Structure 1
Amino acid sequence: MGKHVVVGSGQVGSHVAAKLIEQGHEVTVVTRSGSGPEGAVKVAADVADRARMVEVTKGADVLYNCVNPKYHRWLTDWPPMAESFLAAAESSGAVYVILGNLYPYGPVQGPMTEDLPLASDNPKAMVRAKMWRDALALHEAGRIRTTEVRGSDYFGPGATDQAYLGDRFLVPLRAGRTIQLPYPLDVPHSWTYLPDVADALIVAGRDERAWGRPWHVPTSDPLSFREVGDRMAAILGRPAPKLARLPWPLVQVGGLFSPMIGELRHVRYQFTAPYVLDSSAFQRTFGIAPTPIEAALKATLEA
């Protein structure tokens, strides 16, 4: 069994570390606070500290970048951390697995595939695009081995309270109250299940067929907010929930007082038109399908 270093212990990193521990691997979890699941070696470190990251990753077989700075801090936080990850990957020889996202594609027509250009002109998305291009350049130069795994909006056990299908959705659903959302209610949208994200990252780290290109996490067919609510209510044996769309001007006012709400304007396009992730390449190559949606929604409600 190999040594795996998981950096970040949030909604994805915690799943990755737990699964690796269950599989019998030696797992080191790196966070600023030194937190992590039972069975892991827990290390407190600043990811931007290159020397510290090089030290922590000595002897590692796989290095997972599961860090996620606050969205409004991407421009300042990501560049030094990205450089630190690359230095650690090159020094240790570990396969560098990046948890990516779909923002660098920008608005697209039709389902998103991995061969789409990273064409977004949003500065924050451009930071993420540069991270992948820099890693890929070192891979192509033979200095590291890397891959990036991208999913759509996350849901499932361990999802943060900022997730669209997290507490902001589940709490009123369970209480029979109206679910208030900042976006249209009936637009198809891809939702990626957190345990499937972790599985995809682990597969990408150990299978050399994954290296040198990006992949999309196995993801079920898209569902609108209303369809998700209806299916969850049916699982709970309740009537379809009430959903209401918040007026966009009201959301904009909220953004004056909350940096996170203010950032919603940058991703609004993802919810005003169909936002569909095509994960067929990963499914076909590695023989892994997404968790059936009913099972995933049930586990989400039970978490």
Structure 2
Amino acid sequence: MCRKTLKIENFVSSSLYVIVGVTGPLGAAIARALHKRGDRVRGVNRSGHGKVPSGVELVAADVKDASIARQVCAGATVVFHCASAPYTDWSNPAAPKPIRWTDEADHLPTITKGVIAGAGSAGARIVYGDNFYMYGPVDGPITEDLPWAATDRKGLARISAVQDLLNAHVKGNVGVDIGCASDFFGPEVLNSTVGDRVFDAALQGEPVEIFGAPDVLHTYSFIDDVAAGMITLADSPTAHGQVWHLPNDEPVTPRHFMKVAYEVAGNPHAIQIADDRVWQKLGYQAHLHDREYIVGHGKFATMFGAKPTALRDAIRITIDWLRARK
């Protein structure tokens, strides 16, 4: 079920990086970055289909089955766990809805157990890409020392996955690091509050809706910066068994984010505020956008340094990608 397998001498390093969830936005960004620097990459998704850089091996596998996970992780140095279900469809901004082809709350813990089994059998490290659902509603800066206070199903699923990973690290079964990010934007990011719907509208000069409070500060995560942070964790000499908030540029208001997107696209901004009833349909997700959402990455910066892409530059990269995609 492989797209292509290349001989090891075609690569700068003999290390093998396995990316579970390679055709999602984060997995794809990591694959691009690793491929660019000449690393050997094996991508895994359920279908065995999807866009990956030329030379990246693409394998169809359901890693919820531990025996299959062991096969696809064989020979790996690092396993990037980027698998999760897409949880909101933003194609109709007036009526966002859950995507039901699979339920992250039901499957994420099982996927994670499979990844632990696969990486453990290969003697590989795991770098897991997470969000901030495990903290639940937060008033004030979001830092790694906050309690995991989520009570909703998806937040509890995230807590379960993180606990399993960190327990496996403590037991010595596998080395683990966990990189957390906020709302994605950038190349290949589609289903996000600041995904392609925002940039399509900016390019076409059409109106776009802001969800939540338009003038409170919010941290946004440029997907290439998230990938770089994940790779930094993978390149660290040892696994730390810790949660890390990955670097982002300074928080801005949603209104400012949208305004910059239109400016870079060369069109006058046409921003609208979504009806509050939309948020009622999102339930637990409302707290992510109805108050300040400021993520601190000081811990990561102290250990590894941090040079996130400036917002306007990141938006320009995103606009250029979308123009080329048309």
Q: Is TM more than 0.5 here?
A: yes
Show the counterpart of 1:99: 129
Q: CA–CA distance in 2 between the matches of 1:208 and 1:121?
A: 35
Q: Please say if residues 185 and 243 of structure 1, whose CA atoms lie closer than 8 Å, have aligned partners that are also in contact.
A: no
AA aligned to 1:151 is A
Alpha-carbon contact 2:130-2:178 (below 8 Å) kept? yes
Which residues in structure 2 correspond to 1:16-165 (within 5 Å)? Answer: 16-35=30-49, 36-71=52-87, 73-160=103-190, 162-165=191-194
**What's the offset of the Cα at 1:136?**
0.7
Quote the RMSD (CA, aligned, Å): 1.6
Amino acid at match of 1:61: T
How many angstroms apart in 2 are the aligned matches of 1:209 and 1:93? Answer: 13
| Residue of structure 2 in register with 1:249 after alignment | 277
| 1:232 paired residue number | 261
- Structure 1, unaligned runs of 5 or more: 253-261
Deviations along 1:204-242, whole A, 9 cap, x unmatched? 112045521011111011111210122223323433x12
Q: Check the 8 A contact 1:153/1:163 in 2, yes or no.
A: yes
Q: Percent identity?
A: 31
Q: Using the alignment, how far apart are the partners of 2:183 and 2:33 within structure 1?
A: 21
1:9-50 C-alpha deviation (Å, 9 max, x unpaired): 211111111211222221100111213331111111112121
**Aligned-residue offset at 1:150:** 0.2
- 1:6 aligned residue: 19
Distance 1:130 1:251, change over 3 A: closer
Offset of residue 109 of structure 1: 2.1
1:145 touches 1:211 (CA, 8 Å); kept in 2? yes
Paired with 2:196 and 2:38, the residues of 1 have a C-alpha distance of: 32
Call closer, same or farther: CA 1:231–1:121 in 2, change over 3 Å.
same
Q: 2-side partners of 1:54 and 1:37: how far apart?
A: 24
Q: Give CA-to-partner distance per residue, 1:151-190, whole Å, 9 cap, x none.
A: 0000111111x21122221222222222123322212110
What amino acid maps onto 1:143 in structure 2?
A: N
Letter in 2 for 1:105: Y
Q: Distance in 2 between matches of 1:33 and 1:107?
A: 35
TM-score by length of 1: 0.91
Residues 1:279 and 2:297 are matched in the alignment: yes
Indicate yes or no: 2:269 matched with 1:220: no
1:30-88 per-residue CA deviation (whole Å, 9 max, x = no partner) reads: 11121333111111111212111101111110001111213351222212211111111
Q: 5+ unaligned residues in a row in structure 2: which ranges?
A: 1-12, 88-97, 322-326
CA distance, structure 2, for counterparts of residue 209 and residue 117 of structure 1: 25
Query: What residue in structure 2 maps to residue 295 of structure 1?
Result: 313
Assess if the C-alpha contact under 8 Å between 2:109 and 2:160 holds in 1.
Answer: no
SS at match of 2:168: helix
Question: Contact 2:176/2:240 (CA < 8 Å) preserved in 1?
Answer: yes
* 1:239-277 Cα distance to aligned partner (Å, 9 max, x none): 3x122222222554xxxxxxxxx4x22111111100011
What CA distance in whole angstroms lies between the structure 2 residues aligned with 1:144 and 1:155?
A: 31
**In the alignment, does 2:229 pair up with 1:183?**
no
Q: Distance in 2 between the 1:154 and 1:7 partners? A: 18
Alpha-carbon distance in 2 for matches of 1:70, 1:15: 16
CA 251–112 in structure 1, closer or farther in 2 if over 3 Å, else same = closer
Q: Distance in 2 between matches of 1:15 and 1:246?
A: 30
**TM-score when normalising by structure 2:** 0.85
- The letter for the 1-side match of 2:113 is E
Match for 1:32: what amino acid?
R
1:211 paired to 2:240: yes
CA distance 1:210–1:286, change in 2 (3 Å) = farther
Residue 196 of structure 1 is matched in structure 2 by 225
Aligned length: 291
Cα distance in 1, alignment partners of residues 210 and 305 from structure 2: 36
Using the alignment, how far apart are the partners of 2:235 and 2:229 within structure 1? 10
Q: What secondary structure does 1:157 align onto?
A: coil
* Residues 17-26 or 2-11, more deviating: 17-26
